[in-house]
Structure 1
């Protein structure tokens, strides 16, 4: 689905990424690399092949768009370095795009490790009249792209049926990105009158009518 914000076009993809057409930038939030290895280390029965799924998703979305820059909106790596860092380091060698990290609360790894991979790190990023952060932020005259919350939406059906979906949650001056990573979970949000919800339903993006929520 393509949406327009401040006269700029953004393609929302079902993986949870968005492509900024005019800037050729791919925006991704809350990848949480290392989380699966962290869970496995503490005895959770998660298949080892699940580690590779995040990298498969990255590969697939990069093949779809002619991006020159990838901006991670925080929580790129879940905690301290573990076995998944080696996979991430190898992945960076396969991409030609400029890599930028807007720091999130989980990004506790020393900046030197990212700098060694030529990844630029910022606490926030301003591009034209857009403010890119990890935590949702408000600033006059800027539209905020952010993550952190892992937004979801709960839909009501007949017979007390409910369906919970990840979503891009858009407020008048802000859009909260869904978590890109596997095993991240959602936090259901309740939209207000001027909000818009772009839900991820398998392989498509659907704008949800507020009456269904």
Structure 2
């Protein structure tokens, strides 16, 4: 369910939900929840089930119980589009989650920032913290190690008989780590491992590290 790694002398815990826990900061990092996406597509005629709407909040609650963080940072695309009925569920979740929360804005975060501020959630474009750059968009910036999201990384595993399996992953290169999408029905983008890269592949039971040979 978890795997501990070290980045620049800081200890992090990878969780198979796609969340990252920064031990020294006692902070939970989550990217690409895309709240409201299911309701958005249902409104436009897609026959998607409603159960995953509540699963996102259940997963967040379980993470808070598991890590007991002192703060939470959402690395962008917290809400998928304009406000819909899932915003009310988010308000309820926020009201029972008495922790400092910061949103690093992503390209889907079009809800008026005042609505987040009313919930005591500051919205920033990026966050520089202890030599790390917390941002939605992957990038390499001199002197900083980037923690980001946006891409929804995955790895394609090949088996015997031309069988292929695509699984979400944390994707780490020498100067950054990209978090998988946390939300339901978010889709993934297949990454290519290069020398020096590591994919931490997520399964229901464990996290498997795969590096370029």
Counterparts of 2:212 and 2:195, CA distance in 1: 8
Which deviates further from its counterpart, 53-62 or 39-48? Answer: 39-48
Counterparts of 2:89 and 2:192, CA distance in 1: 37
What TM-score comes out, normalization by structure 1 length? 0.97
Aligned structure 1 segments of 4 or more residues deviating by more than 3 angstroms: none
- Residue in 2 that maps onto 1:150: 152
Counterparts of 1:101 and 1:62, CA distance in 2: 16
Counterparts of 2:127 and 2:205, CA distance in 1: 30
Maintained 8 Å contact 2:196/2:212: no
1:3 aligns with 2:5: yes
How far 1:49 moved relative to its partner? 2.0
- Residue in 2 that maps onto 1:91: 93
Q: Which string of whole-angstrom CA distances, capped at 9 and with x for unpartnered residues, describes residues 12-50 of structure 1? A: 000000110111000000000000100111111112222
Counterparts of 1:94 and 1:55, CA distance in 2: 11
Counterparts of 2:133 and 2:23, CA distance in 1: 17
Alignment of 1:40-59 (within 5 A): 40-59=42-61
Corresponding pairs, count: 211
Structure 2, unpaired ranges of 5+: none
**Partner secondary structure for residue 161 of structure 2:** helix
How far 1:210 moved relative to its partner? 3.3
**Partner secondary structure for residue 112 of structure 1:** helix
Q: Which string of whole-angstrom CA distances, capped at 9 and with x for unpartnered residues, describes residues 94-148 of structure 1? A: 1121000000000001110000000011100000110010011111010000000
Q: Which string of whole-angstrom CA distances, capped at 9 and with x for unpartnered residues, describes residues 74-104 of structure 1? A: 0000000000000000000011210000000
How far 1:209 moved relative to its partner? 4.2
RMSD of aligned alpha carbons:
0.9
Structure 1, unpaired ranges of 5+: none
- Residue in 1 that maps onto 2:142: 140
**Partner secondary structure for residue 36 of structure 1:** helix
Counterparts of 2:82 and 2:36, CA distance in 1: 8
- Residue in 1 that maps onto 2:178: 176
**Partner secondary structure for residue 89 of structure 1:** helix
- Residue in 2 that maps onto 1:39: 41
Counterparts of 2:18 and 2:198, CA distance in 1: 16
**Partner secondary structure for residue 87 of structure 1:** helix
